[in-house]
């Protein structure tokens, strides 16, 4: 099977997002995670201080990230939650400083319209909404501002606990939800070439659910919009391999490469340099790019 045959039929595969252009028919974007939270599940608050967050974002771009995702609100209901004003105080200064330093895409990880507005004013190009545009006013603001949106599946949304989430067919239900939310986004006036989807691995899902979504990811990418996967160091990888946080890099890379072959085109990750190398190698094996320094047995 050729690399071209593995590419899903993506709506508007060539896209200008912020200051960069992507061809998602032949390219995978690497999104770096920068959390301005004191208790994030992987970095444990190491980028909570403003200077640390800005430094981490710029280092990620230097390591090859195409995109930086900046968040100030923990998804988990187990974490202490904050008001919109405090969330703005966390994310807007980071976005403003990173915008000065790079032309990389900047997204804000938020479900609140007021935070999204402040983030876009500070220089964000994308709203990464793990609430699937369910907050009143979010879709309307995204449409008016013209930024791109990431529509993510979750049952309860950020900060809302869902006890023992269950599905009859997790992939079919996630796909159905995403189709419904995309229709809502279009109805609100968001342009088709501004929509990205994310099945929401581990968000109100157990390990079996997340593995099934990964295994059948082509059913998600078949919806037709560029698909983001946020797999990095998540519990479904840790539980599958019996690895604690800090020891899930290999499992993360394997899951990301598998997802690319299944049609994913944006990877949200913590370990940027290792991910960039694995992505570029995968793109080459799929026939989407050539080697950088070919010489072996050519002379």
What residues are annotated to the active site? 234, 268
Given CA atoms 241, 203, 71, 161 in this order, what sign does their dihedral have? negative
């Amino acid at each position: 099977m050729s690399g071209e045959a593995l590419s899903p039929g993506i709506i508007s595969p060539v896209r200008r997002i912020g200051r960069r252009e992507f061809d998602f028919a032949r390219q995978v974007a690497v999104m770096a995670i920068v959390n301005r939270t004191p208790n994030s599940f992987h970095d444990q608050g190491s980028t909570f201080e403003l200077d640390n967050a800005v430094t981490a974002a710029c280092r990620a771009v230097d390591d090859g990230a195409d995109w930086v995702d900046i968040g100030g609100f923990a998804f988990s209901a187990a974490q202490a939650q904050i008001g919109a004003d405090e969330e703005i105080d966390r994310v807007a200064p980071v976005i403003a400083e990173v915008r000065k330093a790079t032309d990389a895409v900047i997204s804000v990880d938020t479900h609140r319209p007021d935070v999204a507005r402040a983030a876009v004013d500070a220089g964000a190009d994308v709203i990464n909404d793990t609430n699937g545009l369910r907050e009143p006013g979010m879709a309307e603001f995204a449409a008016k501002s013209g930024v791109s949106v990431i529509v993510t599946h979750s049952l309860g949304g950020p900060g809302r606990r869902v006890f023992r989430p269950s599905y009859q067919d997790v992939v079919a239900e996630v796909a159905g939800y995403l189709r419904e939310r995309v229709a809502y986004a279009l109805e609100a006036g968001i342009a088709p070439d501004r929509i990205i989807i994310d099945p929401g691995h581990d968000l109100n899902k157990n390990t079996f659910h997340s593995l099934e979504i990964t295994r059948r990811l082509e059913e998600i990418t078949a919806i037709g919009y560029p698909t983001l996967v946020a797999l990095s160091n998540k519990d479904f990888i840790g539980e599958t391999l019996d690895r604690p946080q800090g020891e899930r890099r290999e499992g993360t890379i394997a899951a990301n490469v598998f997802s690319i072959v299944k049609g994913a085109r944006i990877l949200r990750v913590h370990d940027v340099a290792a991910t960039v190398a694995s992505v570029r190698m995968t793109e080459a094996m799929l026939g989407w790019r050539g080697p950088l320094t070919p010489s072996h047995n050519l002379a």
